[in-house]
Amino acid sequence: MAVDFKENEDLVEEVLSVYSEKAKKNRKVHFGINDKENCGSCVTKSNMKSLPGVMTPRGCAYAGSKGVVWGPVKDVINISHGPIGCGMYSWGTRRNLANGEIGVESFVPFQFTTDFRERDIVFGGDKKLEQAIKELHELFPTAKGMVVESECPIGLIGDDIEAVAKKTSDEFGIPVIPVRCEGFRGVSQSLGHHIANDSIRDFVVGKGEVDDSKKTPYDVAILGDYNIGGDVWASMKIFEEMGLNVVTHWSGDGSIEEMKITHKVSYNLLHCYRSMNYIARHFEEAYGIPWVEYNFFGPTKIKESIRNIAKLFDENIQEKSEKVIKAYEPKMQEVIDKYRPRLEGKKVMILVGGLRPRHIVGAYEDLGMKVVSTAYEFAHSDDYERTTKELEDGTIITDDLNEYEFVELAKKLKPDLVASGIKEKYIFQKMGIPFRQMHSWDYSGPYHGYDGFEIFARDMDLAVNSPSWKLVKPLWKK
Amino acid sequence: MEKEEVKKIKDWMNTEEYKEKNFNRKAIVINPARACQPLGAVLCAAGFENTMPFVHGSHGCVAYYRNNLSRHFREPLAAVCTSLTEDGAVFGGQANAFEGFKNALTLYKPKMLAISTTCMTEVIGDDLGSIVGGAREKGYLPEDILAPYANTPSFAGSHLEGYDSMLNAIIETLCKKSDANENKSDTINIIPGFDTTTGNINEIKRILKIFGASYLVLADYSNTLDYPLNGEYKLYPKGATKLEDVKKCMNNRATIVLQRFSAKKTAATLSKKFNHEVRIVKSPIGINYTDEFLMAVSELSGKEIPGEIEDERGRAIDSMTDAQQYIHGKKFAIFGDPDMLVGLTSYLLEMGGIPKYVLCSNGTEEFKKEIEDLFASYSEGEGEVYINKDLWHLRSLIMTGPVDMLMGPSHGKFAARDAKIPHIRIGYPIFDRVNIHRYPLYGYSGVINLTTWIVNKFMDILDDESDDAHFELMR
């Protein structure tokens, strides 16, 4: 298909024309037009500071550490260490589902905070932290560990949370893990993922014992699935049907006890590359465990992923895997037959975090939809390398796409659906453009796996084809 | 874990012994019903014409405020920040602020930047006065752009103080003492306070319209955070408080403050600096407080209470007496922001209900006394009021001393579920029910809404739980 690169280049140029020279120069390098011939990471610059004064979609390191990586681990207590707000705003908003009795086996639906006040800022908060951990240990004796997530002031006032963690860990006999994820560190959530991965490496990995007689060659770990709306469960179902034994899932519905024995698995299966590639690499370097990326959005990618994973194992697994693919084919065809005619050719614009802007493309394509632009909040160059091949030539790719640019691009590209987050949702809905939140699955899900695709397809259809959108213009203005 | 072991621990969490342990904690807060100052400042700024909330700090903070407010209102919420990183922590945030001003003005063309701080910029000691002054001098902030600024440290107060500080800063910046005079207009200023029930603001405006009274709502986001979907996204929807009106507000007849605890600083500025009459009323929830509010309006406007409103009152009383048998003697646990709790306590007492636990994560001794006085005026011996406690405390209370219903923001749902009681969503934030914030709690309309929600909820439960014999047509 002939692609008019020039047309999209001009369109981007127009969007950027509003900026001052300096700001324009800054932003221009974050826009690219997909060209598979070119090197992937060349498409845009990434992981750089956001412009001040614009509505960047980005969050902070704390959000990456507490909100994304550690928050879903259910048997530990996440302490938001600092003032009240950060813990309040990240309370229950990522939809990390977890099994288990709340307050005994699962601490996910809680907000624990040391609630810094002026005197803590002035005199330091180490004593308060120590006391807080003691009180939590008394009130929640079944917690298998505590994770201290630092908010901005901690790093600024020079508290020694590492010392407090060491002391209380020794005293209570559970891991107390200091995480230096102050929000001003780095340029986005992304550094928070890395910091959290490092804390897991230092305090969790390799700490558990496994009865070697119970090990099997089929033991695997899922990395980078946060069980949003039940994603982990939908994914595990497939792995188990393939004959694999999922020992642990990081970190959705996750457990620190299982994380401690992950070094005994045969393979790490990595879904969210951006947030957990660090720990996957560590397992490879320190324990020789290979890792493989996969994509469980939409039947095409699921099939590809199942085969890629099956290749790592024996014929037995490969046979079972083919059976799994075959078993779900009629169901998937049914879903596609039902929804594809309703969605064929519809245009989608995407802005999500660090994985989905490329990972969900296939699922849209399975439904006959066309991704006309995709953007990341906090991707790095290795993400862009993985992105360009997933998209048609000419697709607009943007890094740290801000609200102004997003709206202006949408005015020009006229999408039928925007797939992004809560901050963006109502902006586009006001424009009369159907929208799905693709961080939280808009309170639906799961979207992973075969079970998830059916829900994904239904949700995209109900957004795009809702009769309510046809009511935006009154009869007398039609 | 073994099921029995789990049950044993969960049972222990429901005991008096656990409650005592829970109430003894000093250092950890568990499930608080309180947000931080800058969120309140951002909300306040959203109530002014062509105003961009401008937060001095890392972008994580502003992403959180935007998320949080958008989830509640189900509306877009614009706000920008200075995107500070490590070098800002070392060298201060001035350079980012200058660049931020420039970019925000270029992209968003506001008339006013409402500047607030975060804990980071408070801790590093950035001086907003000198930053704004420097930006003016160096041309990053032209003179015609208004730039009120407020210090809103997250480690002091709550969203209430943040709202207050921003409103105060806007009034102090826009109103000149030299413009204040004794020649008062007939207009009455209304300060709603940190009130995320847009229906409340609309109800107050409706009442004042019926009075035929001229009014000015200070921080009116009832339109900007509830604007019509017609195919166009507006960064600054119409209907916000006009900046020209703010400039003259001290020369209006008087100001009625509807939330004592989220407008203290502002009220003091108006009365002390501008010698302006400020009337602080109880949030008009329930009959008595609505009556008091109407009398204040009547007195300040010099207009009789309209017959139409008296009729509304009669209908509200009718709705209460029709339904009072379903609330009388029922016990309630309520939590949320202090002014709403005072009003709600009063309403429940009017209905013969028992506000058994009134819990406020951001309450003061003054608030506590208000609630205690209310209990005393109804000779109600059962009520207990708790300040600076959280929802894990509340859970202990309702597990050891049961109540029939919980009322408060969405975060109470976990405690309500454990206690197996219904939970009426009210206050901030509401994330798990739609449109509730569009229905007023204020005024006589609010009385009917509250009565409807509470009583029908009890009736739904009665129907759900009845056996065949007791599943009756009439309730």
pLDDT in tens, B381-407: 789 999 999 999 999 999 999 999 999
Q: Decide if pLDDT at B22 tops 80.
A: yes
Do B210 and B281 share a domain, yes or no? Answer: yes
Q: Judge if B128 and B86 occupy the same domain.
A: yes
Q: What is the total count of domains within chain B?
A: 3
Q: Would the pLDDT of B472 be above 70?
A: yes
Nearest-CB residue to B103 (from A54, A59, A425)? A54
Residues B287 and B373 in one domain: no
- Which residues of A are less than 8 Å from B88 in CB distance? 184
Chain A: residue whose CA lies nearest to B77:
A423
The one catalytic residue among B44, B62, B119, B360: B119
> What's the mean pLDDT in A451-477?
96
- Is the pLDDT at B253 greater than 80, yes or no? yes
Which segment of A2-6, A78-82, A389-393, B291-295 scores lowest on mean pLDDT? A2-6
pLDDT-based confidence at residue A284 (cuts at 50, 70, 90):
very high
Based on the domain organization, do B136 and B239 belong to the same domain?
A: no
Whether pLDDT at A39 is above 90: no
Instruction: ipTM value, please give it.
Output: 0.97
CATH architecture of A61-186: 3-Layer(aba) Sandwich (3.40)
* pLDDT, tens digit, 9 for 90 and up, residues B271-323: 999 999 999 999 999 999 999 999 999 999 999 999 999 999 999 999 999 99
Domain assignment present for B17: no
Instruction: Compare all CA atoms of chain A with the CA of B100 and give the residue at the minimum distance.
Output: A53
Q: How far is B79 from chain A (nearest CA, A)?
A: 7
Are the beta carbons of A343 and A368 closer than 8 angstroms? yes
Q: Is A411 on the interface with B (CB under 8 A)?
A: no
Q: Find the mean pLDDT for residues A422-432.
A: 98
For the question of residue B358 being annotated catalytic, the response is: no
Q: Which residues from A are below 8 Å from B26, CB to CB?
A: 131, 135
The verdict on B54 and B133 lying in the same domain is yes
Same domain, yes or no: B432 and B393: yes
pLDDT above 80 for B33: yes
Our CA-based measurement puts residue B434 at a distance from the nearest CA of chain A, in whole angstroms, of 13
Domains A61-186 and A212-323 share a fold: yes
DSSP A136-171: HHHH-TT--EEEEEE-HHHHHHT--HHHHHHHHHHH
If asked whether residues B147 and B233 sit together in one domain, one would say no
Averaged confidence pLDDT in chain B: 97
Domain end position, chosen among B248, B272, B307? B307
Q: Where are the domains of chain A?
A: 61-186, 212-323
Residue A2 has pLDDT above 60, yes or no: no
Residue A29's pLDDT is: 97
* pLDDT tens, position by position, A366-415: 999 999 999 999 999 999 999 999 999 999 999 999 999 999 999 999 99
Q: Please check whether residues B450 and B349 belong to one and the same domain.
A: yes
Q: Is the pLDDT of residue A3 over 80?
A: no
Decide if B221 contacts B229 (C-beta within 8 A).
Answer: no
Min Cα distance A101 → chain B (Å) is 7
Q: Is the pLDDT of residue A467 over 60?
A: yes
Cα nearest neighbour of A119 on chain B: B155
Percent of chain B scoring above 70 in pLDDT: 100
Q: Is B14 domain-assigned?
A: no
What does the pLDDT read at residue B380?
64
Q: At what angle do helices B37-45 and B159-174 cross, to 10 degrees?
A: 40
A21 touches chain B (CB under 8 A): no
Question: Mind listing the pLDDT tens digit for each residue in A238-269?
Answer: 999 999 999 999 999 999 999 999 999 999 99
Tell me: do B118 and B233 sit in the same domain: no
Give the pLDDT of residue B140.
Answer: 98
Distance of residue A85 Cα from the nearest chain B Cα, in angstroms: 5
Confidence check: pLDDT of A1 > 70: no
Residue A124: predicted pLDDT: 97
Of B272, B307, B342, at which residue does a domain stop? B307
Q: Is residue B2 part of a domain?
A: no
pLDDT of residue A422 exceeding 90, the answer is yes
Q: Quote the domain boundaries for residue B265.
A: 178-307
Answer yes or no: do B443 and B399 share one domain.
yes
Residue B314 domain-assigned?
no
The domain that contains B77 carries what CATH number? Answer: 3.40.50.1980
Which residue, B123, B154, B176, sits at the end of a domain? B176
Q: Is A194 a catalytic residue?
A: no
Q: B79 and B147 share a domain?
A: yes
Residue from A423, A429, A472, A475 whose CB has the most chain B CBs within 10 Å, to mutate: A423
User: For the segment B321-379, what is each residue's pLDDT rounded down to a tens digit?
Assistant: 999 999 999 999 999 999 999 999 999 999 999 999 999 999 999 999 999 999 999 97
Chain B contacts of A186, Cβ < 8 Å? Answer: 85-86
Q: Tell me, which fold does domain A212-323 have in CATH?
A: Rossmann fold (3.40.50)
B410 located within any domain: yes
Q: What is the mean pLDDT of chain A?
A: 97
User: Is residue B6 included in any domain, yes or no?
Assistant: no
